[in-house]
Amino acid sequence: MSILHSDGLGQFQQDNATPHASRVATKWLQEHSSDFRHFHWRPESPEMNIIEDIRDALLHDVKNRSPPPRTPVDLWIVMKDEWCELPPRYLQTLVESMPHRVAALLCVRGGPTRYQAGVPVFLVLQCT
């Protein structure tokens, strides 16, 4: 991982959800633990991953397709098409939402947040 990280260590986030904590995955992580930093998150960690917002938007668009994709190849094509149709401003808004998400997380001291994109920062910071 030295190509990606100047210190030679990559970073791996593990949320310990059952599907992500199989015996095979857990064993591999133990065997390769010196190759990267391993961040342990609770299975029900706060929502900080904008990838899930993007996935939800794509799934919503795919479900509304008519006709719906019928084969794995159709699904792949539709997903690529919908990805290309995502407005750049939507993606930028998600990126810009990160300081607000972090503020909400700090406000609840790492617990579950009620964060929604677009909440003004002054509302999020009222917890102090």
pTM of the predicted model as reported, rounded to 2 decimal places: 0.55
Amino acid at 111: G
Question: Residue 113's pLDDT is what?
Answer: 65
The answer to whether residues 57 and 84 touch, using CB atoms and an 8 Å cutoff, is no
Return the beta strands (E) in 5-116 as ranges.
Answer: 10-14, 36-40
Angle (deg, nearest 10), helices 50-63 and 88-96: 150
- Flag whether pLDDT at 74 surpasses 80: yes
Decide: helix, strand or coil at residue 40. Answer: strand
Residue 97 host element (H or E): none
- Flag whether pLDDT at 118 surpasses 60: no
Question: Residue 109's pLDDT is what?
Answer: 72
